[in-house]
């Protein structure tokens, strides 16, 4: 009888394990989307509570309003950029094909004047121009690389859209999930779980508001500036500025060459405008907006955001540009807490939950 009971329990556990593994296998392709939706909802929950009060507690309506806001702020700019990039990529492919089929012209004079890399680029251009086979292979590989990056961007945009759909249900039903998680955390860690939630919350908001928010603002301002001076591929350059905004002094790597190109083509007034716009608006906002937003929640090492962005892209694709810095910063903050407050983190220091008979 006892043996049969053990076999029954083992069989039940095996079935539960297989079901759990199957669920994880089904949800695995959407893991990054679900995680980003949870982080977005966590970050914007104070705004959601205000919307709930305006909607007189109607959860579905409040969730729909918050989801619309997320679409306008996050998905719509990237969708517009993707539409413009599709046209730019087609033009670039046609241009690359023509360059690959024909002999390369001599390098432009301004190429040699680029600081640090100018000499190398000039000599490499001459080397490609002198070898037709090498030139054809180079442009063929470049075309394949651009096609793969465009595909990655499209997949990332799809995951971003899925995360918005998931966010709607998190907004509508998230309080129940949060209550269950908070109850489990309090049973495991006692009152110390409240401090951990505070640390995680400050870190997530610090990354999303201070770093990613500033990068989005710089990318939008860069695209506006490039559109004003009528640079080809303005939205594509704006998107590149967004990615490089996560790198120290990254945005000047975009607007400085654009300014130089305007000078080289004789558009002096536009070059002056672009230089001033890049210095005081695109790069200037980094020194104003980032400290203001970050100081509200958390001070984070910039290198964590940079490495998190690169690692996130490798691990999760395009959406990793948001997930990577957030996860790495949260891990660093928790590690910092456990190192500098070992007495608080120790299990022995967790307050003992007293049972007075009122609760099970």
Those residues with Cβ within 8 angstroms of residue 78's Cβ, 6 or more apart along the chain or in another chain: 157, 160, 239
3-state secondary structure of 57: coil
**Confidence (pLDDT) at 351:** 43
The answer to whether the CB of 83 falls within 8 A of the CB of 154 is: no
3-state secondary structure of 248: coil
**Confidence (pLDDT) at 346:** 47
Burial 247-267 (b: 16+ CB within 10 A, else e): eeebbeebbbebbbbbbeeeb
**Confidence (pLDDT) at 357:** 40
3-state secondary structure of 105: coil
> What string of H, E and C letters represents the secondary structure of 195-235?
HHHHHHHHHHHHHHHHHHHHHHHHHHHHHHHHHHCCCCCHH
The DSSP result for 293-325, as a single string, is: HHHTT----HHHHHHHHHHHHHHHSTTHHHHHH
Q: How large a percentage of the chain has pLDDT more than 90?
A: 8
Dist. CA 30–CA 159, nearest whole Å:
7
3-state secondary structure of 27: helix
DSSP state letter for 72: I
Q: How large a percentage of the chain has pLDDT more than 70?
A: 74
Give the mean pLDDT per block of 10 residues along the chain (360 residues): 71 85 83 84 85 89 91 78 67 62 68 68 77 71 75 78 89 76 66 69 75 84 91 82 79 88 84 91 83 59 74 77 78 77 50 40
- The model's pLDDT over 223-233, given as tens digits with 9 standing for 90+, comes to 899 999 988 77
Burial 77-91 (b: 16+ CB within 10 A, else e): bbeebbebbeebbee
**Confidence (pLDDT) at 274:** 92
**Confidence (pLDDT) at 42:** 81
């Amino acid at each position: 009888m006892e043996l049969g009971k053990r076999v029954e329990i083992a069989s039940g556990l095996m079935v539960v394990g297989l079901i759990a593994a199957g669920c994880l296998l089904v949800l695995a392709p959407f893991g990054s989307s679900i995680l980003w939706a949870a982080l977005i909802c966590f970050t914007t929950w104070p705004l959601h509570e205000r919307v709930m009060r305006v909607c007189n507690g109607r959860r579905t309506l409040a969730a729909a309003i918050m989801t619309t806001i997320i679409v306008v702020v996050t998905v719509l700019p990237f969708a517009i950029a993707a539409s413009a990039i599709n046209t730019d990529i087609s033009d670039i492919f046609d241009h690359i094909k023509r360059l690959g089929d024909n002999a390369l012209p001599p390098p432009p004079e301004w190429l040699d004047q680029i600081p640090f890399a100018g000499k190398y680029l000039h000599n490499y251009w001459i080397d490609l121009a002198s070898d037709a086979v090498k030139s054809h292979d180079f442009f063929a590989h470049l075309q394949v690389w651009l096609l793969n990056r465009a595909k990655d961007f499209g997949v990332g945009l799809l995951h971003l859209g899925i995360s918005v759909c998931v966010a709607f249900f998190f907004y509508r039903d998230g309080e129940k999930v949060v209550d269950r998680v908070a109850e489990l955390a309090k049973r495991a860690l006692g009152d110390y779980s409240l401090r951990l939630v505070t640390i995680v919350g400050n870190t997530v908001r610090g990354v999303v508001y201070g770093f990613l928010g500033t990068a989005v603002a710089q990318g939008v301002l860069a695209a506006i500036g490039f559109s004003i001076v009528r640079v080809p591929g303005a939205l594509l350059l704006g998107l590149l500025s967004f990615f490089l905004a996560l790198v120290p002094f990254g945005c000047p790597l975009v607007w400085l060459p654009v300014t130089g190109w305007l000078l080289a083509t004789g558009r002096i007034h536009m070059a002056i405008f672009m230089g001033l716009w890049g210095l005081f608006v695109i790069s200037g906002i980094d020194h104003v907006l980032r400290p203001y937003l970050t100081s509200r929640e958390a001070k984070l090492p910039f290198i964590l955001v940079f490495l998190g962005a690169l690692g996130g892209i490798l691990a999760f694709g395009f959406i990793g540009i948001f997930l990577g810095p957030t996860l790495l910063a949260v891990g660093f903050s928790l590690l910092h807490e456990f190192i500098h407050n070992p007495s608080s983190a120790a299990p022995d220091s967790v307050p003992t939950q007293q049972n007075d008979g009122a609760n099970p």
